Amino acid sequence: MAGLTQKIYRTLRKVKCDLRRDVSCFTPALAVAHALCDLPLRGPVFQPVGRWAAKRRDAAIFDYLDQNYGAFFETFARQWTPPEKKECSVPVPIWVCWLQGEEQAPKLVRRCIASIRKNANGHPVNLLTEENIGRYLSIPRGILQKYRHGAIGQAHFADIARMMLLKEYGGLWLDATILCTKPVPDWYFQRSFFSCKGPVREGGYISRYRWTSFVLGGMPEAYFYSLMTAFYLEYWKRENAAIDYLFMDYIIDAAYKRFPILRDEIDKLPENNLRRDDLAACMNEPFIQEKWDALMASDTVLFKLSWRENYAEQTPTGEPTFYQYFLTEEKA
User: Tell me, what's the pLDDT at 123?
Assistant: 97
Question: Which residues are registered as beta bridge partners of 25?
Answer: none
Domain 94-268, classified CATH 2.60.40, yes or no? no
Long-range pairs for 183-190: beta carbons < 8 A, 24 or more residues apart: 183/119, 183/120, 183/121, 184/94, 184/119, 184/120, 184/121, 184/123, 184/301, 185/121, 185/301, 186/121, 188/217, 189/91, 189/92, 189/123, 189/217
How far is Cα 80 from Cα 230, in angstroms, rounded to an integer? 11
Per-residue model confidence as pLDDT tens digits over 142-197 = 999 999 999 999 999 999 999 999 999 999 999 999 999 999 999 999 999 999 99
Q: What is the pTM of this model?
A: 0.91
User: Tell me, what's the pLDDT at 7?
Assistant: 65
Question: Which residues are registered as beta bridge partners of 314?
Answer: 320
Per-residue model confidence as pLDDT tens digits over 9-43 = 677 777 778 778 888 788 888 888 887 777 776 66
3-state DSSP assignment of residue 77: helix
Alpha-helical runs (H) found in 80-169: 107-118, 133-136, 141-148, 154-169
| pLDDT above 90 coverage of the chain, percent | 76
Give me the residue spans of the domains in the chain.
2-79, 94-268, 278-331
Going residue by residue through the chain (332 aa), what tens digit of pLDDT does each one get? 555 566 666 777 777 787 788 887 888 888 888 877 777 766 676 678 778 888 999 999 999 999 999 999 999 999 988 777 666 567 899 999 999 999 999 999 999 999 999 999 999 999 999 999 999 999 999 999 999 999 999 999 999 999 999 999 999 999 999 999 999 999 999 999 999 998 988 877 899 999 999 999 999 999 999 999 999 999 999 999 999 999 999 999 999 999 999 999 999 999 999 999 999 999 999 999 999 999 999 999 999 999 999 999 999 999 999 999 999 976 54
